[in-house]
Amino acid sequence: MAKKEYTYEEICRDIKNRNFHPVYFLMGEEPYFIDRITDLLLKSVLKEDEIDFNRIVLYGADSTIVKVLNAARRFPMMSEYQLVIFREAQIIDERSADNKWELLTNYVKNPLQSTILVINYKYKTLDRRKSLAAAIENNGILFESKKIKDYKLPEFIAQTLHQRSIEADRKSIQMLADFLGNDLDLLNKELDKLLVLLADQPVKRITPELIERNVGISKDYNNFELKSAIAAKDMLKATRIVQYFERNPKNHPIQSILPTLFDYFSNLLICHYAKDKSETGIMNALGFRYPIQAKEYQAGLRNFSAMKAFDAIHHIRLADARSKGIDATSSLTGGEIMKELLYKILH
């Protein structure tokens, strides 16, 4: 039987409810979730007067697995728990006899319930075929922190804003996603900055105008507006946006624009072959929550045949290859490639 894989939300909910596990092995390429879980444990496990004697923080640069084991086997002093955190565990030298991960296996099979051992193993993953991984899954939490896919980023931002009791329309969310990408630390720093500006507002609402003033993203010239202009076959507006991008290549690199267009036309093909092309049908076909999300695809269905959508995907793939120097016949800039792509899609 497959072991249960805990989500980030489930782990955080259990910690807030003081439903702790004796071992947390937090690994993977996205450091944001690893740091947030660790910070939550730091805030939740011990009371202020219990910290001095019951919190131990070790680092991979100057510790060993043996030291971690010795710390984990201690008993707490005047507290229900002791908290042992092993940061930067991924940099230990496994060639040393004291740094073999297998040394943890016997402890994890029968861990002290009074010790909460937290291991930060960033940018790497533990081999799930090894006995240590199985022991952690049986008696603790083995969590892989994965990068959020670009197409899932708007949904993540929307959930994050909801958790902070902040309102935002779809355009604002897409602007943040396009400009900040999946750098979650940067995203949350920008949200913190916006939240300070909204502190005195009875209803905390992020708008395109607020983002433009304080984050530096134009409310009129962004991927969201470009996609809308292309869907409506508004050549003039789309050209103005692409020209703006060409003048500001640092903030609008072609590699951040092409995935947005690729996702749009890929979804448009799905809409073309869906039986129900109504607003509700499109929402169901693409897994959308809100009717407004279907509007651009209804416009696309009117303005692009299935073959035209397929051709657009083909041209976007070629533009991507050319922007990376593959099959390039000339030294075109990203802006020049985008203008050529726009012409091919809209003519």
Length of the chain: 347
- Beta carbons within 10 angstroms of residue 302's beta carbon: 10
Q: How does residue 283 score in pLDDT terms, banded at 50, 70 and 90?
A: confident
Q: What are phi and psi of 246, to 5 degrees?
A: -65, -35
Helix spans in the chain (H): 8-16, 31-44, 51-54, 65-72, 105-109, 131-139, 153-163, 170-180, 184-197, 208-214, 223-231, 235-247, 254-272, 279-286, 292-303, 306-323, 334-346
**Which one-letter DSSP state was computed for residue 221?**
S
Measure Cα distances from 145 to 44, 125, 250 in Å: 21, 9, 29
Helix locations, 61-146, DSSP H: 65-72, 105-109, 131-139
pLDDT band at 68 (very low <50, low <70, confident <90, very high): very high
- Average pLDDT score, the chain: 88
Q: Can you list the domains of the chain with their CATH numbers?
A: 8-144 (3.40.50.300), 148-219 (1.10.8.60), 221-347 (1.20.272.10)
More confident call, 104 vs 164: 104
209: number of CA atoms within 13 Å, CB side?
1
**DSSP secondary structure code for residue 126 in this structure:** -
pLDDT of 1: 44
Q: What is the pLDDT of residues 302-342, one digit of tens each?
A: 999 999 999 999 999 999 998 888 765 567 888 899 999 99
Q: Look up tokens 């020049």; give the residue.
A: 336
